[in-house]
Chains A and B, each alone.
Chain A
């Protein structure tokens, strides 16, 4: 009669599968530039204001096999609702709730910010083409320096759609961050609030690799 493995052996096998064959971490990046505005009346940064950003990638990881000379990659961030400014002790923090980021690849190459958004071209020309990635923000925060003229931002996303979902890695970590400025010296189109510059990172640090029983067992020999 064939004996089933005991509980201790089963646990050992489960543990082995959980830690199986780690793959070297890989980070894929999309570098972008853009401009953002608030869709609300009243004071900027107030609780309830929606932050919207349209931007264009100017560098993309070769792994995505996109030629930015023949196709543009545009980013549309929307639905980020301000929780209102909070004093961080000499600087200002704003947390945002909700929000999505859509990334498109588009051979039309016609992205145009125009002025006083929303307008005939923004966000319209940033939401054309095929969906490369759609993510839902699980967190998003802006950090303003003491002068309020510049700062940084960072958000984490859950990937929910797009051609690259599950293509680069499973259980990917999606991070979107960078710097912003609203200084008078920056060339910010009329009607936009901030200029941004940053990177969308896809981190496969928790990637997995399919392995045979033999190779899993070999790890413990």
Chain B
């Protein structure tokens, strides 16, 4: 009985007291993509992240003191056409205080600390004959220095959506498309709060 009670209390403490989390959370990015020449080629996208306020970042990021970049690499084009399908690929978020991201030098997007590394589990791109396109997929975070800021269940099945535009006035020299999008968890990630046993017990009085 004593062991059962102890187990119950541990579960309660782990799940305890979500802090005032915003209803929506996402990582927002704006970048430039290099498209594969054809089936079998790989997609690469370099982007800079913005503070999405008043929407929250899923984990706190210090935008005042660091630059955050999001890089998509290694997604292989398997089906071409109006609907493109990609296989594999990774998404990495870097935190960097040293250099400013510069599209003329892609290395400035991949320096710093990889705080989150994710595997794309799906990615497709819709490119209508006229008008801009869009990309949609899902990813699981599997590494990075901030991975454990999220509970294991919160690391999986994030939505990835982006506008894709080959005719934008902001297209940088040497790139094929502007990508403006976001990735977000399937449900709000809540923080935890340290609580004494008596405080936890008080919740059930």
Which residues does A use to contact B, with CB under 8 Å?
25, 27, 29, 31, 33, 56, 58-59, 68, 72, 88, 90-91, 93, 109, 111-113, 141, 143, 145-146, 149-154, 175, 177-181, 183, 185-187, 189, 195, 197-199, 201, 203, 205
Please tell me the number of chain B residues within 8 Å of chain A, measured between CB atoms. 45
Q: Does B110 contact A (CB under 8 A)?
A: no
Among A58, A113, A149, max chain B CB count under 10 A is at A58
Contact B134 A179 (CB under 8 A): yes
Kindly specify which of B66-74, B87-95, B183-191 makes contact with the partner chain.
B183-191
CA distance A143 to B184 in the complex (A): 22
Secondary structure of the A contact surface, majority rule: strand
Contact B128 A88 (CB under 8 A): yes
Residues of B with C-beta under 8 A to A177:
132, 163, 165, 168
Q: Does B126 contact A (CB under 8 A)?
A: yes
Number of A-B contacts (CB under 8 A): 138
| 21 chain-A/chain-B pairs, Cβ below 8 angstroms | A31-B50, A31-B180, A33-B52, A91-B82, A91-B126, A141-B131, A143-B131, A146-B126, A152-B131, A152-B132, A181-B136, A186-B161, A187-B184, A187-B187, A197-B180, A198-B163, A199-B178, A201-B168, A201-B170, A203-B169, A205-B169
Other-chain contact of A33, B83, B126, B182 (Cβ < 8 Å)? B182
Residues of A with C-beta under 8 A to B161:
150, 179-181, 183, 186, 195, 197
